[in-house]
């Protein structure tokens, strides 16, 4: 049986094992695909089958679980170019934090006061406006946010990033506030619905408002799957950051499915949709609502 779903991951971690296991239990063949193990032909110059062949299989559906986001940014467009349906974090999958913040703001999703800075000097100047504490969210793919609790720390952090890392490492978003000591939670949104969450800082009292906010954020960035970080600031509940490939092993389900099950369900549903499109509508026209319901029901039965 050839695999139908590839899970892009360097290694099967707890999360990827869960997704693959749920699919296997439902009879949907899924395999881990190491994203950076092989050279890849460049689409559209290379025929799609060559790309698939490089991975040893055709993958109608690919789930993005790459921990290395630099690798993901490079290989995801190739997979999309092969015609594979990629389940990922939308703008957050290959875009930087500026692209994500812009999309969230454009959609009216509340965010902390933010300034873009591209130098140490600009950073210190921005902090005069934003005040302390603040947080630097580097635009470098995969870089962790850095809390700047006071002026001494800000001077040191910005100088270190610029001196040791170069200009690219000092370019980032400066956000007012910090997650340290704040109500801070990660909400996993899959297929438009918040499915699980976990506290990242102080115990949170987030309710339906948080669920709605996380779902709005995922929608704004076009994410199939995303980890939406929420923080309660003095200005209210805001979207702090987005994790394109969130760890969900310690999350608590909000409904009757774990995050791993929800991702597997979504992957299986996309596979059925894809197959249905391929079989009945080669031009790739959208499924009718009746057909979509049948597909969804089919998945529900299958899983």
Partner 1 sequence: MSTSTNVTCPECGGEFEAGAVEVGEIIVCPECSVELEVLGTNPINVGLAPEEGEDWGE
Partner 2 sequence: MNDRAATNHRSPKLGVLVSYLRQEEKLILTAARARGIDVTPVFDRDLVLDLSQPDAKHAGFDFDVVLDRCVAHSRAEYILRVFERWGVPTLNRSRATTICDDKARCSLVLEAAGLQTPRTLLAFSIESALEACESIGYPVVLKPVTGSWGRLLAKANGPEQARAILEQKKELGSFHHSIFYVQAYIEKPGRDIRAFVVGDRVLAASYRMAEHWITNTARGATSVACPITPEIEETTLRACAAVGARLAGVDLIETPDGYAVVEVNTGGEFHGLMTTTDVDIAGEIVEEAIRMAHEADGVAKVATVGA
User: DSSP labels for 92-147?
Assistant: HHHS-HHHHHHHHHHTT-----EEEE-SHHHHHHHHHHH-SSEEEEESSTTPPPEE
Closest C-alpha among 166, 164, 186, 180 to residue 247: 186
List the structure tokens of 125.
């100047």
Using CA atoms, how far apart are residues 58 and 2, in angstroms rounded to an integer?
A: 8
Q: Which is nearer to partner 2, 20 or 146 (CB)?
A: 146
Least distance (Å) from partner 1 to the CB of residue 249?
8
163 counts as binding partner 2 under rule CB under 8 A: yes
**In the range 243-302, which residues lie near partner 1 by CB under 8 A?**
249
Q: Which is nearer to partner 2, 87 or 148 (CB)?
A: 148
Using CA atoms, how far apart are residues 93 and 72, in angstroms rounded to an integer?
A: 7
Given candidates 165, 201, 222, 253, which one binds partner 2 under the rule CB under 8 A? 165
Q: Which does 219 bind (CB under 5 to 8 A by kind): partner 2, partner 1, none?
A: none
Using CA atoms, how far apart are residues 258 and 197, in angstroms rounded to an integer?
A: 10
Least distance (Å) from partner 1 to the CB of residue 87?
21
Q: How many residues bind partner 2 (CB under 8 A)?
A: 20
Using CA atoms, how far apart are residues 113 and 180, in angstroms rounded to an integer?
A: 17
Least distance (Å) from partner 2 to the CB of residue 47?
40
Using CA atoms, how far apart are residues 153 and 149, in angstroms rounded to an integer?
A: 6
Those residues whose C-beta lies under 8 Å from the C-beta of residue 209, and which sit 6 or more positions away, are 237
Query: Which string of x and - marks every residue 8-47 that binds partner 1 (by CB under 8 A)?
Result: ---xxxx--x------------------------------
Instruction: Let me know: does 9 contact 34? Beta carbons within 8 Å.
Output: yes
Q: Which does 14 bind (CB under 5 to 8 A by kind): partner 1, partner 2, none?
A: partner 1
Query: Which string of x and - marks every residue 131-160 that binds partner 2 (by CB under 8 A)?
Result: ------------xx-xxxxx-xx-xxx-xx
Closest C-alpha among 6, 3, 185 to residue 86: 6
Q: Which is nearer to partner 1, 10 or 294 (CB)?
A: 10
Using CB under 8 A, list all residues that contact partner 2: 143-144, 146-150, 152-153, 155-157, 159-161, 163-165, 169, 180
Using CB under 8 A, list all residues that contact partner 1: 11-14, 17, 249
């Amino acid at each position: 049986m050839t695999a139908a779903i590839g899970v892009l991951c360097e290694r099967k971690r707890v999360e990827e094992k869960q997704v693959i296991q749920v699919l296997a239990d439902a009879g949907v063949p899924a395999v881990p695909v190491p994203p950076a193990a092989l050279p890849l032909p460049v689409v559209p110059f290379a025929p799609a089958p060559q790309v698939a062949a490089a991975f040893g299989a055709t993958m109608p559906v690919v789930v993005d679980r790459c921990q290395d986001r630099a690798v993901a940014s490079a290989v995801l467009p190739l997979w999309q170019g092969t015609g594979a349906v990629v389940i990922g974090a939308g703008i957050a999958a290959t875009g930087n934090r500026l692209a994500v913040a812009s999309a969230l703001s454009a959609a009216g999703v509340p965010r902390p006061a933010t300034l873009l800075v591209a130098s140490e000097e600009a950073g210190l100047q921005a902090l005069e406006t934003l005040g302390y504490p603040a947080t630097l969210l580097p635009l470098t793919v995969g870089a962790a946010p850095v809390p700047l609790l006071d002026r001494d720390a800000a001077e040191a952090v910005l100088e270190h990033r610029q001196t040791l890392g170069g200009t690219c490492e000092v370019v980032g978003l400066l956000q007012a506030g910090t997650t340290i000591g704040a109500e801070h939670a990660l909400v996993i949104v899959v297929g438009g619905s918040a499915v699980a969450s976990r506290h990242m800082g102080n115990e949170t009292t987030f309710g339906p408002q948080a669920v709605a906010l996380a779902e709005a954020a995922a929608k704004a960035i076009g994410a199939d799957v995303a980890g939406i970080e929420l923080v309660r600031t003095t200005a209210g509940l805001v979207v702090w950051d987005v994790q394109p490939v969130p760890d969900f092993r310690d999350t608590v389900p909000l409904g009757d499915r774990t995050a791993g099950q929800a991702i597997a369900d979504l992957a299986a549903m996309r596979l059925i949709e894809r197959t249905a499109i391929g079989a009945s509508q080669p031009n790739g026209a959208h499924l009718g609502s009746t057909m979509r319901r049948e597909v969804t029901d089919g998945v529900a039965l299958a899983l």
